[in-house]
Amino acid sequence: MDVNESNNYPIKLHSKKELISYNVTSLPIELIQGVLSLLIFFFYEAEIGLNSLLVGLGIAIYAIWDAFNDPLIGYLTDRPFKFTKKWGRRFPFIMLGYIPMLVCFLLIFMPPNIDAQESPWIVFSWLVFSTCLFDVVESLWTVNYLSLLPDKFRNRSERRTMAMFEVYLGFIGSVLAFILPSFIIVYGNFSSYALMAWVCVAISFVCWIFMIPGVRDDKKTVENYLMHYKEEERDSFFKSLKDMFSQKNFVAFLCLYTLYQALVQTMLASFVYFARFNLGGQVEMVAIISGMLLIGGIVSVPFWLLYTNKTKDHRKTFIISAFLMACFAIIMTFTYGLIGIIIIVFLFGIAIGGFWVMLSPVYSDVIDESVSISGKRRESTYGGIRNFFINLARVLQAITLATVHELTGFVEGSDTQTPLALIGIRLHLGLIPGIFVAIGLIIFWKYYDITPQKAEEIKIKLRQLKI
């Protein structure tokens, strides 16, 4: 075991195998969430035939439920239990929530076999029930998985190395979210969506086996946590929230992260609509487009890492990649033909590669700053708030699609759409998501100030605190 020693504060450096094992989880996260972002609105609206506003309302209810569920789960798991010393802080919750989450994912694509036009409220109720049940168990493991990163992997250089594995495995998961439906789904065949969900679950189960070594807590870190934890000094839930939202770097990160998620989720959902109605093609076109996204990301990652390792400036890389994402997303709205879309998506992939590379390092810097300010480790509560805002992004996606479709006359369950509806699809493909991330970029650029120098000052204070 390699250890960095500074001021009697040990920082464990982990093996490459352990880094990869931890980041294996990026694949099922991006696969499951990618499939939901890509297909849930399309499946219930264009295939099942549920009214656009009801689909939007159902997804909004799911997102609002998740918004309150995630911070609460984070707060409740941010303390020691009887099993903490033996099994760790995060590992038990990760294991407890993962498999039930896969089961609930299947239910979303297995609605009752009834006519949504005749019995819309039954289908709507199933949408709300299945997504909210999925969220309860999904939050239990994702909140704790995300919380493990800044606590277990404390070296900034190691975090950048981890980001490379996270990006590549996450990109694979994202592209699988596009490619699998194209090979399995048949328009108008509801059971093909269930089959697609089963394949996603099988892949995720294999990932679960490989991720176990990486998501175990470090024993010495847990012992150090238990030694310093005092129940009587634990803040209330609302006091913790107040402290978090007084940290301007965390708020700036949340703004850009939330609007980035809104961009991704809205754009992903739009790809299926665009391929089917604007390009007049089959699901295979989505695989072609997403393939170019993967190539753009893979090509760009080494360059983003090289640039960031040279500058040590996570903030600057985050800003540059977000700016490029906004530009290429807006251009996408005004691009015609499959070739043009492929080129722009490739360029967008280059931009998003930089954002993915820096997402975990920037978030970890924010967590480090919070610990240096409060003297307390509250990673799960922070993770819950982060997931809260992911769900705000889902609300933005649902509102965007539902509103645009209502205003442009999108016909649910139809094989063709009017010219105005096709323009609406273009708007929620690129222009609206581009505006989302542009707003987040401005806020982040103005208020986020963790520079390389400040990050080093934070590390020095953490060593002094020895937590």
- Per residue in 43-57, pLDDT (tens digit) is 998 888 888 889 989
Amino acid, res. 412? E
Residue 11: pLDDT band with limits 50, 70, 90 = low
- Phi and psi of 366, rounded to 5°? -65, -45
185 within a domain of the structure (yes/no): yes
100 within a domain of the structure (yes/no): yes
User: Given this model, what pLDDT does residue 373 score?
Assistant: 86
Give the separation between CA 245 and CA 237, rounded to whole angstroms.
13
Report residue 95 as tokens.
Answer: 């294991």
pLDDT at 8 over 60: no
The whole model's pTM is what? 0.70
Amino acid, res. 378? R
User: Given this model, what pLDDT does residue 124 score?
Assistant: 94
- Per residue in 56-100, pLDDT (tens digit) is 899 888 878 877 777 778 778 877 888 888 888 888 888 888 999
If phi over 0 gives left and psi between -120 and 50 gives alpha, with beta otherwise, what is residue 422? alpha
**Over residues 197-224, mean pLDDT:** 89
Residue 452 has a CB neighbour count (10 Å cut-off) of 15
Average pLDDT of the chain? 85
Q: DSSP secondary structure string, 164-219?
A: HHHHHHHHHHHHHHHHHHHHH--TT-HHHHHHHHHHHHHHHHHHHHHHTTTTSPPH
Residue with tokens 């295939």: 47
Q: How many residues does the chain have?
A: 467
136-150, 277-291, 443-457: least confidently modelled range? 277-291
CATH number, domain at 417? 1.20.1250.20
The burial of 194, by beta-carbon neighbours within 10 Å (0-12 exposed, 13-18 middle, 19 or more buried), is given as middle
Residue from 13, 383, 91, 85 nearest 229 by CA: 85
304 within a domain of the structure (yes/no): yes
User: Given this model, what pLDDT does residue 395 score?
Assistant: 81
**Over residues 200-214, mean pLDDT:** 92
User: Given this model, what pLDDT does residue 2 score?
Assistant: 44
Contact 422, 280 (CB under 8 A): no
Q: Higher-confidence residue: 255 or 375? A: 255
**Over residues 440-447, mean pLDDT:** 96
228 within a domain of the structure (yes/no): no
pLDDT at 16 over 90: no
Give the separation between CA 221 and CA 199, rounded to whole angstroms.
37
Positive or negative CA dihedral for 281, 284, 290, 296? negative
287 within a domain of the structure (yes/no): yes
**Over residues 271-299, mean pLDDT:** 81
Q: Higher-confidence residue: 346 or 379? A: 346
3-state secondary structure of 385: helix
User: Given this model, what pLDDT does residue 198 score?
Assistant: 96
287-296, 332-341, 378-387, 457-466: least confidently modelled range? 378-387
Give the separation between CA 228 and CA 342, rounded to whole angstroms.
53
Give the separation between CA 467 and CA 7, rounded to whole angstroms.
12
Contact 415, 238 (CB under 8 A): no
157 within a domain of the structure (yes/no): yes
Give the separation between CA 89 and CA 328, rounded to whole angstroms.
41
**Over residues 226-239, mean pLDDT:** 66
pLDDT at 7 over 70: no
2-11, 119-128, 304-313: least confidently modelled range? 2-11
Residue from 307, 384, 357, 401 nearest 138 by CA: 384
**Over residues 34-47, mean pLDDT:** 87
- Per residue in 114-126, pLDDT (tens digit) is 888 788 999 999 9
Residue 431: pLDDT band with limits 50, 70, 90 = very high
Contact 325, 348 (CB under 8 A): yes
Q: Give the structural domain span for 350.
A: 19-212+238-465
- 379: which residues sit within 8 A by CB, 6+ positions away? 78, 146, 147, 148, 149, 150, 151, 367
8 within a domain of the structure (yes/no): no
Report residue 143 as tokens.
Answer: 């909140």
Total number of domains constituting the chain:
1
pLDDT at 445 over 80: yes
Give the chain's largest Cα–Cα span. Answer: 70
Residue 260: pLDDT band with limits 50, 70, 90 = very high
pLDDT at 10 over 70: no
User: Given this model, what pLDDT does residue 6 score?
Assistant: 43
- Per residue in 341-371, pLDDT (tens digit) is 999 999 999 998 888 888 888 988 998 898 8
2 within a domain of the structure (yes/no): no
User: Given this model, what pLDDT does residue 387 score?
Assistant: 72
